[in-house]
Structure 1
């Protein structure tokens, strides 16, 4: 049997737990370092980049899960690593204030462990979903799990923010400890017994990691999809560090207004994900390839409009919401395609495949964000502010168009599950 809707929702709780811990590291601790501790912005930026960089180990974690045939233990072990890293990162905050060298060393170690935990738990979870989800349910499964991750991020940020005031280092440690402990406990409850109740492909014959990766890389579809993931996710994350500064410098948005704009953008992402989940799985409308291509092209069109918004006197917020909508459409369809392609692999190494694509995504996330920021700095030295940001948005739109073209060429026009009557 395959995963039921209830079991898919249970696995989505793991994604919510991942988001809950990671948002503390990338948002709350980032703010504490810059504002309360008055440290350079580059420090938390480097630490966040470090946690992305460490996720290059995702193929190794996927390989281990494939070889062992027990992905549940790696999901739980990864969450435990993530919680340990989260506690270490929080403990480093008071040390950064009193003993900077020791605090920095602990921060580096903690963020590396966070990256390892995300890689181990997230890769094994996606591999389990890829092997045990019915093909026609994969778009909805991708939508459900990612929406639950967004929910975990939002709920944690709101709740932790309320309890952090008035701020103290001790209060921070208590809150982080509660969230991390709760995330591990909820993960255990969420995944316990699921893997034993669904039909999973037998574990592949033992093989060295290097040999397994070589075999997967020799698969043209897997290799091309890796390139697509890197290219599209580079475009996806390129605006991450520059959209709010653009709103402030060009449209004179206050910090509160730009933050609200960012929230509205996430609302658009939510709607785009829901649309694909309902249309592709519930109504069987369109292929995942069609949704990916439409999301990429729509994102490119919105970026062109955002680039010229000041010149054409267009309202920024509706354009940003629309960008989020197409981003969400593309992202969840791409994740569904990843699950589809991993499940179709004849080598029975879904975890290693998912790990390879997860590593590509993580590298693209760090590369895209930093590249967008660097290009804006370079362009501002040569062009007026509005034109500098606009040039980078246009470059980002070009990458999205290239991603759409690549997706149209390498993805199947219609998943098999949508062609088999009665499935």
Structure 2
């Protein structure tokens, strides 16, 4: 049996997430700005393209099923990154094309953003499965933190370097820089995963009994697993609550507290700092603490409930006035969100192997689809709910308070779902031990 990965091996696989982050931030941030500012296009256009990139990720179970059937993950990680790199380069080329041929550029952009969603879905899903197979159980929360932080590092490093490389700006320079970033990301991925999966990693080829390879059958089997289905619902509900605040926190600070654009941007930085702190906290405690302190179910439930409390605090702050400790509350929200996020990803890595081993890809794909679609939907719902509340409520403060309160309620529901998932996992372990004990008993005949 292949030995579990050490910290260097985990960081090596984390480089794949760094590569994913590098391409994604260039397309969803830089190209977004170029379309709106330099090309003076309606903001709805890049908004719809980014939404398309999230919507396509509903196909994650299909990519996971492909890895189940083929039996190996490495080709899907590299292939997904190749599609992602092509999509990132295509998005830059489409933006340049819009200057002279608008509708052909839009069509190319739509195809490119769809490719970005497919590439992220295929490579990201299979990377998590590979981590779940190669990382020891005690290190999985820390591994989740490492790969998440390295993805954020990809955002930061790429944004800084690309920002310098794009000046003086031209669409031709944008295409060249995007091509270079995409090529480097693909090369890093190939080097990072080379040899990590090891020999004899195929799941399908080692089975003695034939298994139906139909995707519909596989998806139905996974959805019929109570634990997999309930965990998917937990991910969907909690990720809507997690992402719904993204598009409204800064407008809230400006409208209710009078923050300037610079002050509201720094407030978002405070939240992101809290997210990183929460991730590191869970990684350290679960790695060094005992079984109780290191319980992922404890951190998942606690993170959801703490997020609900912080959001309730934001709801109250809308009426409390300038003396309310807004920055401290936002940091607490980020801290709770970070703890929840790492616990959720660590739980994915732990639970993906519970069930038929030949359905791991579909199982992880189902959860990844729930995460990706909910993340895109959450931001849209948060903004739409705020607009609706402002029409119905007497003041903007009341409107924002109502939306934050609704998000808090969603986190409470998510905490209940996390408890239900934990109970199912405990019951499954109990039945497995009982079955094992039965096999060890001597035959009375």
Normalising by structure 1, we get a TM-score of 0.95
| Distance (whole Å) between structure 2 residues aligned to residue 277 and residue 350 of structure 1 | 24
| Distance (whole Å) between structure 1 residues aligned to residue 247 and residue 410 of structure 2 | 17
> Is 1:409 matched up with 2:397?
no
The worse-fitting range, judged by mean Cα deviation, of 267-276 and 4-13 is 4-13
Contact 2:15 2:150 in 1 (8 A): yes
Within 5 A, what are the aligned runs for 1:183-222? 183-196=185-198, 201=203, 205=211, 207-222=213-228
Kindly provide the CA deviation profile for residues 234-278 of structure 1, in whole angstroms up to 9, marking residues without a partner as x.
101111111111111112222222222212211111110111111
What SS class does the counterpart of residue 194 from structure 1 fall into? coil
Which of 76, 86, 89 aligns to 1:87? It is 89
- Give the aligned partner of residue 331 of structure 1: 341
Q: CA RMSD in A?
A: 1.8
Which of 148, 151, 155 aligns to 1:149? It is 151
Larger Rg: 2
| Distance (whole Å) between structure 2 residues aligned to residue 186 and residue 377 of structure 1 | 43
The worse-fitting range, judged by mean Cα deviation, of 342-351 and 232-241 is 342-351
- Give the aligned partner of residue 305 of structure 2: 297
The worse-fitting range, judged by mean Cα deviation, of 370-379 and 244-253 is 244-253
| Distance (whole Å) between structure 1 residues aligned to residue 73 and residue 199 of structure 2 | 13
What SS class does the counterpart of residue 98 from structure 1 fall into? coil
Kindly provide the CA deviation profile for residues 352-385 of structure 1, in whole angstroms up to 9, marking residues without a partner as x.
1100000111111121111111110011112211
- Give the aligned partner of residue 132 of structure 1: 134
Which of 62, 71, 74 aligns to 2:73? It is 71
TM-aligned CA deviation for residue 344 of structure 1:
2.3
Which of 402, 427, 440 aligns to 1:391? It is 402
What SS class does the counterpart of residue 166 from structure 1 fall into? coil
The worse-fitting range, judged by mean Cα deviation, of 92-101 and 212-221 is 92-101
The worse-fitting range, judged by mean Cα deviation, of 355-364 and 133-142 is 133-142
Within 5 A, what are the aligned runs for 1:19-30? 19-30=21-32
TM-aligned CA deviation for residue 283 of structure 1:
2.2
| Distance (whole Å) between structure 1 residues aligned to residue 68 and residue 386 of structure 2 | 42
- Give the aligned partner of residue 358 of structure 1: 368
TM-aligned CA deviation for residue 157 of structure 1:
1.1
TM-aligned CA deviation for residue 196 of structure 1:
1.0
> Is 1:309 matched up with 2:317?
yes
> Is 1:270 matched up with 2:276?
yes
Normalising by structure 2, we get a TM-score of 0.90
| Distance (whole Å) between structure 1 residues aligned to residue 160 and residue 253 of structure 2 | 24
TM-aligned CA deviation for residue 198 of structure 1:
8.4
| Distance (whole Å) between structure 1 residues aligned to residue 117 and residue 46 of structure 2 | 14
Q: Paired residues, what number?
A: 417
- Give the aligned partner of residue 392 of structure 2: 382
Contact 2:4 2:135 in 1 (8 A): yes
The worse-fitting range, judged by mean Cα deviation, of 14-23 and 316-325 is 316-325
- Give the aligned partner of residue 230 of structure 1: 236
Query: Residue 314 and residue 79 in structure 1: after superposition, are their counterparts in 2 closer, same or farther (change >3 A)?
Result: same
Which of 115, 123, 128 aligns to 1:121? It is 123
